[in-house]
Structure 1
Amino acid sequence: MRVLEGIEPREVMHFFEELSGRHRCSRHEKQATDYVADFAQSRGLEHHRDDLQNIIVKKPGTPGYEAAPTVILHGHLDMVCKIDEGFTHDFAAGGVTLKVDGDRIRAEGTTLGADNGLGISYMLALLDSKDIPHPPLECVMTAMEEMGKVGGDGVDLKLLSGKRMIDFNWIDEKQLLAGCSGDVSCRIDVDADWTAPGPDRVALALDIRGGLGGHCEFDIHFERANAIVLLGRLLRAAMKAGDVAVARVSGGVQNNVIPAEAAAVLSVRPDEVEAVERAVSALAADLKAEFRSADPGLRIETKRTEAPVERVFSARAARTLVRTIALLPDGVQTQNLEVPGNWETSNNIGLMITTGRGAEITSTITSAVTSRKHAVLDQMMQLAEMAGEGVTAKQIGLDAPEFPWNPKSRMLEVAKDSYKRVMGRSPDVLVSVCSLELGMFTQRIDGLDTVGIGTNLYDLHSPKESMDHTSAARVWPLIKDVMRNLDR
């Protein structure tokens, strides 16, 4: 029996369960795209698939809507794949394991992927329908949205004729999305200047766990612990307490996720191990007190380990790494004075790995104002220049533009009217702090009129992610009503 059997809206939940059983981690969307391609082919629908695993599916308008202007529908196929601490799971072997928990749908021990599998499911249900009036549809399902919006940038826009668009990559049913930020990512590389650890050293494992993490845009203002930043502080305390060499560092799962975990392996002189452990323990206690409200589950541990240490950062390189982490901007940078309650610009130090060269740190800057975004990026570039000694910085991925607010949007007016009719109240109209793929369409398709419709999703990019299926049951009639009123 299907897990979501009997959950409304049944036609949408059917497709969500189908997608959930397929591998959809960013850069691994082929199973999901194969499913969509087979779906389109079996229904005789025109579809176009590219090498990035973007897929566009087209459907003619229903009777009476054949000549109506085409509507582009958009969502992304990929998901952030994160596994809960202590849980073992292989996304490639069968997607995620769904469970129903009252009004919520969750996944066993992993992220759920309702961001944005639910949006794709709405589109598939519309494409599959035989009784929902709608204009001609161009359904754009993008890949690698969670990995720098690669798919959105790579979509062949010559395949699209629509000048109006609905996006389903939103997370609150009370809101209609009428604008959002853009983003750009930066990578900092710190040379290790590798050296031998020296004889008779003790290996210490430093581990940070239990943080809430979360989405780098929706959750950045909660001031949760950034495990990479905390690791830098702890490394500095250890290095001040004794002759400590750094062998390995790591933190985070993806640059658009607030890092909830980080770790390091240290090489310490035997006679200084206890002093280093005391220093780390003292700062760990302070950090847990510091984040007692924002991140009460934070855990910081050190333990001696038999892990082999064959090479370490030079003393100079280790100091440079710690200073670089300390000086990188992180969190909310500026407030939005035009949209009260919104922050305008933020940066998330999201990922750190040890490479053959040394340490690689990746962060994502999000802003509603391009010049502010570029100012933070330039700040990071200048920091690298000032640090010198094997520290470099460069932009990586795309410079995603913002989706600007359009006070004359006809699509927004149609959606607002439908919302009042279906929900019995007026929606909140939101210009969001988040960065989505919408700017890549609105800035490249002249005159594109866009609105976003959302469903209540919670704890995105974390294993606690959930979807309120009663919200989906309310939003689906809204989507159908909007379709019905796009006849001109």
Structure 2
Amino acid sequence: MSNEISKLEPTALWENFYALTQIPRPSHHEEKVQEYVYNFGVNLGLETTKDKAGNIIIRKPATPGFEDKKGVILQAHLDMVPQKNSDKEHDFVTDPIETYIDEDWVKANGTTLGADNGIGAAAVMGVLASTSLEHGPIEALFTATEETGMDGAEGLKAGVMKGEIMLNTDSEDEGELYVGCAGGEDLTVEFEFKKKEMPKNFIGGRLSVTGLKGGHSGMDIILQRANANKVFFRILNMAFEKCGARLISIDGGSLRNAIPREAFGLLAVKKKKWDKLTKLVAKLEKEIKAEFELREPDMKIVLEPEDVISKLIDKRTQLRLTKSILACPNGVIRMSDSMPGLVETSSNLAVVKSDAKHKTIRLAFLMRSSIDSVKADFGQRMKALFSMAGAKVKFSGAYPGWNPNMESPILKTMQAVYEQKYGKIPEIKAIHAGLECGILGGTYPKWDMISFGPTIRFPHSPDEKVNIPSVAKFWDFMVETLKNVPVKEAVVEEAPVADESVSEN
């Protein structure tokens, strides 16, 4: 396998990123990468620990002459989102990522790349290993299982970290500094169904929705891409109404934080209605592809005959499932009033899966909002909708947003450093995605926090790619920022108060 990316500049970063691509690290399978990073710190002779949540903490002393600088926490998460194209043979638990260079971009062969947040982690490792950089006290915080619940950030205990400034490396637009992010919450909906025998005059077919772009359910939700689950049930609804099509099983999407790119389901219909159904699906494919002509040029909707022996999902449940999915809001719900162009609230119907053994159909949503009360209200609206459809509704995994501090000292420092290096002031933004800053800031409320990173496109999808020139700028900016971190504030000791209770002679 080619290691050509390890030869890119700066090699201090790219060699580490290449090493990370060779270690399988999907969420909840992070033992090997945690061991690798732990040993990385130990082999450098640095103080290295691993906490009960799986976080790796490595401390590096200040370089001579920089001892008076404020302590900086460099933070990145080690896990990655495991997404692949349906025609790609890849096991994320055992197989390395196959990377290649395409002009100014590093990409992966049919899978997610893991630049989210592997590039940030690689940069932090580069700082730890360097013997020439100038900086104050450094703490590297490599968090666990960020992508599926921010478990590491949730598990970090108060009092463990000593620094005053945290630089999160999980943003994905070079030249932008992020000072706030959305909070989120998981919504799980479960329908129970009864199995019904398939009539003898019925035949089976497989309905597939494929070729969608998908993407990050926070940052890419504004792109208004098609959701494979919504497309599937739009077709199923018409297939039932026009042809009496019945649902046998459904398998759409895989991760809450990824816009679903594919959905597959088994259907059954009367033999005499098969031709009518195929014509209907072809008609709907043409209509839907025309609607998403520019956003989803590779969309495919295919109905193929298939021998099936499975039982049908009962008609009552099929209708309640279909109608509620059609009715449920999805995508951008509301734009921000305070920050033009920023999504305030969104919802992603990420997963719809049937389980024949337990006779259940599970829907998984990730709801996001920068306003907690709006997120709570939207959750209640979703609960009302699916409760009326007879489903069980459960909320879990809520995490807070991160409120901007426009008077941040490190923000002012980074603005000045960027302007001096590149001749322009970086944009100040908030992001419609869940950064660990919100959770970590709750545990360490006095931290001065900024999130920044290189340019990454289409994270959480097999189209993920990272821009090579932006990585070099990200690295140089990080190095110069560490050199210019503000000094610690002097501690003013109060003079002792004289004892005025001396008795007079």
Normalised by the shorter chain, which TM-score bucket?
over 0.9
Q: Which residue of structure 2 aligns with residue 440 of structure 1?
A: 439
Letter in structure 1 aligned against 2:402: F
CA shift for structure 1 position 368: 1.0
Q: Is the deviation greater in 399-408 or in 40-49?
A: 40-49
Q: Which residue of structure 2 aligns with residue 411 of structure 1?
A: 410
Partner Cα separation in structure 2 for residue 156 and residue 469 of structure 1: 36
TM-score normalized with structure 1 length: 0.96
CA shift for structure 1 position 409: 0.4
Q: Deviations over 1:459-480 (max 9, x none)?
A: 1111111111111112211111
Letter in structure 1 aligned against 2:88: F
Look at both structures and tell me which one has the larger radius of gyration over its CA atoms.
2
Q: Which residue of structure 1 aligns with residue 33 of structure 2?
A: 32
Q: Which residue of structure 2 aligns with residue 282 of structure 1?
A: 283
Do the aligned residues in 1 keep the contact of 2:120 with 2:169 (CA within 8 Å)? yes
Do the aligned residues in 2 keep the contact of 1:65 with 1:487 (CA within 8 Å)? no
Do the aligned residues in 1 keep the contact of 2:321 with 2:389 (CA within 8 Å)? no
Do the aligned residues in 2 keep the contact of 1:185 with 1:364 (CA within 8 Å)? yes
Q: Which residue of structure 2 aligns with residue 189 of structure 1?
A: 190
Pick from 364, 367, 374 the counterpart of residue 365 of structure 1.
367
Where 1:159 maps in the other structure, the secondary structure is coil
Letter in structure 2 aligned against 1:61: A
CA shift for structure 1 position 487: 5.1
Where 2:97 maps in the other structure, the secondary structure is coil
Q: Which residue of structure 1 aligns with residue 461 of structure 2?
A: 462
Q: Deviations over 1:68-117 (max 9, x none)?
A: 33211111111111112422122333320111122111111211110000
Do the aligned residues in 2 keep the contact of 1:400 with 1:437 (CA within 8 Å)? no
Q: Which residue of structure 1 aligns with residue 141 of structure 2?
A: 140
Where 2:312 maps in the other structure, the secondary structure is coil
Letter in structure 2 aligned against 1:38: N
Q: Which residue of structure 2 aligns with residue 339 of structure 1?
A: 339
Partner Cα separation in structure 2 for residue 51 and residue 238 of structure 1: 51
Letter in structure 2 aligned against 1:324: S
Q: Deviations over 1:233-282 (max 9, x none)?
A: 11111111233321110111211111111111012222222222222222
CA shift for structure 1 position 12: 0.4
Give runs of aligned pairs for residues 35-54 of structure 1, distance below 5 A.
Answer: 35-54=36-55
Q: What is the aligned residue count? A: 484
Q: Is the deviation greater in 117-126 or in 242-251?
A: 242-251
CA shift for structure 1 position 5: 4.0
Q: Which residue of structure 2 aligns with residue 399 of structure 1?
A: 398
Letter in structure 2 aligned against 1:315: K
Q: Which residue of structure 2 aligns with residue 239 of structure 1?
A: 240
Q: Which residue of structure 2 aligns with residue 258 of structure 1?
A: 259
Q: Deviations over 1:157-201 (max 9, x none)?
A: 331122211010011111011111111110111112222223353
TM-score normalized with structure 2 length: 0.93
Task: Show structure 1 runs of 4+ deviating over 3 A.
Answer: none
Task: Report the aligned-residue RMSD.
Answer: 1.5
Q: Which residue of structure 1 aligns with residue 419 of structure 2?
A: 420
Gaps of 5+ in 2: 488-505
Q: Which residue of structure 2 aligns with residue 206 of structure 1?
A: 207
Gaps of 5+ in 1: none
Do the aligned residues in 1 keep the contact of 2:349 with 2:366 (CA within 8 Å)? yes
Where 1:172 maps in the other structure, the secondary structure is coil
Do the aligned residues in 2 keep the contact of 1:249 with 1:353 (CA within 8 Å)? yes
CA shift for structure 1 position 224: 1.0
Percent identity, please.
29
Letter in structure 2 aligned against 1:453: F
Q: Deviations over 1:409-465 (max 9, x none)?
A: 011011111111222221111122222111001222122110112101111111111
Letter in structure 2 aligned against 1:374: A
CA shift for structure 1 position 52: 4.1
Do the aligned residues in 1 keep the contact of 2:456 with 2:466 (CA within 8 Å)? yes
CA shift for structure 1 position 6: 2.9
Q: Deviations over 1:186-219 (max 9, x none)?
A: 0111112222223353111000011111111111
Partner Cα separation in structure 2 for residue 104 and residue 457 of structure 1: 9
Partner Cα separation in structure 1 for residue 312 and residue 81 of structure 2: 32
Instruction: Give the direction of change, closer, same or farther, for the CA distance of 1:110–1:292 in structure 2 (3 Å limit).
Output: same
Where 1:376 maps in the other structure, the secondary structure is helix
Q: Deviations over 1:329-375 (max 9, x none)?
A: 10111111111111211111111111223211111111111111111
CA shift for structure 1 position 138: 1.7
Partner Cα separation in structure 2 for residue 381 and residue 325 of structure 1: 13
CA shift for structure 1 position 51: 4.6
Letter in structure 2 aligned against 1:24: R
Letter in structure 1 aligned against 2:374: R
Partner Cα separation in structure 2 for residue 103 and residue 242 of structure 1: 50
Partner Cα separation in structure 2 for residue 103 and residue 441 of structure 1: 34
Where 1:19 maps in the other structure, the secondary structure is helix
